[in-house]
Amino acid sequence: MLPIGRPQGLNSAVDGLIAAGRYSDALALPAQFGTRGPRDTCSELLVQINLAEAEYNLGRWSEAWERLRGLDPLAAMFPIARAGLAQQRSWIASCTGRPEVALHHWKRADIWDLPDNYHAEHYFTGAIALLAAGDLDAALGCARAGAAVAVRPSSKRNALFIQARVAAAMNDWSLADSLCRSAAGHPYHRQGGDGLLFWGEVLTRLDWHAQARHAYALAVERDEESESARIACKRLRELTHGR
C-alpha cells in the first residue's frame, strides 16, 4: 500500500496518471492508497469522475458510464463535482451514439461551477455533443469559444483537434488536416491519441497514406495504452498490407 494520505492527494495522483496516459495505473491506485482524517466527499467524487475518464480512454465505455451511476445525490452538494459528473456523462453519451442524452447532460453542467482553467473543456464537451446531434453551426461556435478561453497547454492543443472535427463534419478536409497538423506539432504531447487517430483518418480520406501512417504512429507513440492507439495499430496494418 502507498503511504496514507488525504482523498485530495489521491485525486491529484489519479489526475496526474491519467494526464500521463497511465490509465491502468490510475484505476489501480485507489486500492493501494490508504486515507486518513475526515471524509472528503468532494475529492472522493472527483476521483470517481476522473477514473471514468481512465476507463473510457481504455475503451471501457460501459464501465465508465456505470462508474458514474448513483453519484448525483452526493454531487448535488458540490458544484465542481456536479458539473464534472454531467460533463463526463455528456462526453460518454456523445461517443457512444446517444446525442440526445449527451445534450441533456451537457446542458445540466453549469460552466460557472468549474474552475476558470476548465471552462474550455465545458465548450469542448458541448462541441462534441452538438456534432453528434448534427448541429454543426452550434458545434463550431462551441469549439471556437473553447479555443478562446483555453488556458492550460493541454486545452490549447485539444482546441485544435476539436475544431478539426468540426471542419471535417463540414467537409472542409484541408482545414481539418491543417488544424490536426498544428495540434500534433503543439509542444504538449501527452495523451491525444483520439485526436491523432482522427488526423490519420483525415489523411486517409485525402489519400495521403504515407502521412496517415505517420499520424497513426504518433497515436501509438504518445498515447500507447489508449483504445485509440489500438485502433491506430490496426489502421497501420491495413495501410501496410493494402498499399
Burial of 92 (0-12, 13-18, 19+ CB in 10 A): buried
- pLDDT bin (cut points 50, 70, 90) of residue 243 is low
Average pLDDT over every residue of 23-33 = 92
The mean predicted confidence, pLDDT, of the chain is 94
More confident residue, 243 or 185: 185
- pLDDT bin (cut points 50, 70, 90) of residue 2 is very low
pTM over 0.85: yes
Residue pLDDT, tens place only, 104-125:
999 999 999 999 999 999 999 9
Residue 220's CB is within 10 A of a number of other CB atoms, namely 20
In terms of phi and psi (left: phi > 0; alpha: psi -120 to 50; beta: otherwise), the region of 207 is left
Q: What percent of the chain has pLDDT above 90?
A: 90
Average pLDDT over every residue of 188-210 = 96
In DSSP terms, 2 is beta-bridged to 33
Q: Which CATH architecture has domain 171-243?
A: Alpha Horseshoe (1.25)
- Which range has the worst mean pLDDT, 33-37, 90-94, 97-101, 121-125? 33-37
Q: Decide if pLDDT at 40 tops 60.
A: yes
Which distant-in-sequence residues (6+ apart) come within 8 Å of 164 by Cβ?
Answer: 175, 176, 177, 179, 180, 183, 195, 198, 199, 202
Domain spans, the chain: 1-69, 171-243
Q: What is the pLDDT of residue 35?
A: 61
Q: Decide if pLDDT at 1 tops 50.
A: no
- pLDDT bin (cut points 50, 70, 90) of residue 195 is very high
- pLDDT bin (cut points 50, 70, 90) of residue 220 is very high
Angle between helices 193-205 and 173-184 (to 10 degrees): 140
Q: What is the pLDDT of residue 241?
A: 78
